[in-house]
């Protein structure tokens, strides 16, 4: 089992930048094997770098892969593509018109299976009781936030966990107990002006586990209250520390181990947010948006036929095109004109 699968901040830092010993501490695995009384040996990292085995889940542990989807979903998609090909070849080679609606129906399985998975995931999330009793803190940005950031980003404090959610809904679960748990809050301030720059969540070893940009989380009208409430909810020591800038740094976060958090835990650019949340780009692959309409176009002309099988094939093909394109277009338009549009300061602080 690669350590990236156990490291909450793997998508920000990556096991390659930490080394085996620090990964064991951060994940809590060292404490686990010590409690169980299991001998632990630390070997040398592979020649290609620790955690770099060519597996997409190790390279991008925050990105969904086909293995995370239900097995029936892959079977349905494969059956749909294979069934469409066989039925189309049969329809044109053997001049069997009844094979046309069979081909169109088979192709419809692909967007239909996607839709079932997405609706089921939405329903599970809606009924989930993972955050029952959690204290939730929304960001209070100074200005320049998006509705996606304000509605999605949060810090939830549970009895045994702290859950940080970024702009696109990625969650980072940090424990509150053990050497790897959140044991300290550190507010990083500018060395000359004393201006707050960020908040570090540190474990008992003094290692930073998460970084929240102050500008987007606590600099707004309600920011001071939310900062006080977060400190009270975590009930851990809090300190201010002067940020030590990296040599020749042009921005304050340059050189910080969690510098990627400044982007992840801030409002994202609309184009980037769409890329991270788009079903086809992040999970299935962009080629489907082009392939399904093209394959469906083969039988789409049946809409103008007087023969029932051809007309049914055309109708199912039109439905396939709509099922593939309408959600993608709707999501892109909603993002561009509402969800990922920057809103003014007055509206941000409502």
Tell me the angle at which helices 99-127 and 71-93 cross, rounded to the nearest 10 degrees. 160
> 11 Cβ partners below 8 Å, 6+ apart?
60, 61, 62, 170, 260, 264
Lowest mean pLDDT among 28-32, 94-98, 208-212, 327-331: 28-32
Higher pLDDT, 43 or 264: 264
Predicted confidence at residue 43, as pLDDT, reads 64
At 186-227, the pLDDT tens digits run 999 998 888 999 999 999 888 899 999 999 999 999 999 999
pLDDT-derived band at 17, boundaries 50, 70, 90: low
Predicted confidence at residue 67, as pLDDT, reads 52
At 301-340, the pLDDT tens digits run 999 988 999 999 999 999 999 999 999 899 888 888 888 8
Characterize the bridge pairing of strands 184-189 and 238-242.
parallel
pTM: 0.78
Predicted confidence at residue 46, as pLDDT, reads 54
| Contact in structure between 167 and 153 (CB atoms under 8 Å) | yes
241: nearest Cα among 202, 276, 268, 273: 202
Q: What are phi and psi of 135, to 5 degrees?
A: -90, 120
Classify each residue of 125-159 as buried b or exposed e, where b means 16 or more C-beta atoms within 10 Å of its C-beta. Answer: eeeeeeeeebeebebbbbbebbbbbbebbbbbbbe
pLDDT over 70 at 50, yes or no: no
Lowest mean pLDDT among 240-249, 256-265, 341-350: 341-350
At 28, is the secondary structure helix, strand, or coil? coil
| Contact in structure between 257 and 13 (CB atoms under 8 Å) | yes
């Amino acid at each position: 089992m690669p350590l990236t699968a156990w490291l909450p901040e793997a998508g920000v830092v990556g096991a390659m930048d930490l080394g085996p010993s620090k990964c064991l501490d951060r994940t809590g695995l060292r404490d686990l094997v010590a409690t169980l009384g299991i001998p632990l040996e630390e070997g040398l990292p592979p020649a290609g770098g620790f955690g770099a085995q060519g597996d997409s889940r190790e390279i991008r542990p925050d990105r969904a892969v086909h293995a995370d989807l239900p097995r029936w979903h892959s079977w349905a998609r494969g059956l749909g593509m294979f069934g469409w090909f066989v039925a189309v070849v049969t329809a044109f080679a053997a001049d069997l018109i009844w094979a046309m609606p069979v081909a169109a129906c088979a192709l419809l399985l692909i967007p239909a299976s996607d839709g079932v998975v997405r609706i089921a995931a939405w329903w599970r999330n809606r009924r989930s009781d993972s955050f029952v009793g959690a204290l939730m803190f929304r960001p209070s940005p100074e200005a320049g936030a998006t509705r996606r950031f304000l509605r999605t980003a949060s810090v939830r404090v549970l009895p045994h966990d702290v859950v940080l959610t970024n702009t696109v809904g990625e969650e980072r679960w940090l424990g509150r107990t053990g050497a790897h748990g959140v044991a300290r809050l550190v507010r990083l301030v500018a060395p000359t002006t004393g201006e707050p720059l960020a908040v570090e969540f540190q474990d008992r070893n003094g290692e930073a586990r998460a970084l929240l940009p102050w500008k987007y989380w606590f600099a707004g009208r309600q920011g001071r209250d939310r900062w006080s409430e977060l400190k009270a909810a975590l009930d851990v020591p809090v300190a201010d520390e002067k940020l030590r800038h990296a040599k020749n740094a042009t921005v304050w976060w340059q050189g910080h181990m969690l510098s990627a958090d400044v982007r992840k835990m801030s409002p994202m650019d609309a184009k980037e947010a769409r890329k991270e949340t788009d079903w086809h780009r992040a999970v299935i692959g962009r080629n489907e948006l082009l392939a399904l309409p093209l394959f469906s176009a083969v039988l789409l002309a049946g809409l103008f036929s007087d023969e029932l099988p051809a007309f049914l094939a055309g109708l199912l093909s039109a439905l396939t095109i709509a099922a593939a394109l309408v959600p993608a277009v709707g999501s892109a338009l909603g993002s561009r004109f509402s969800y990922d549009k920057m809103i003014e300061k007055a509206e941000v602080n409502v």
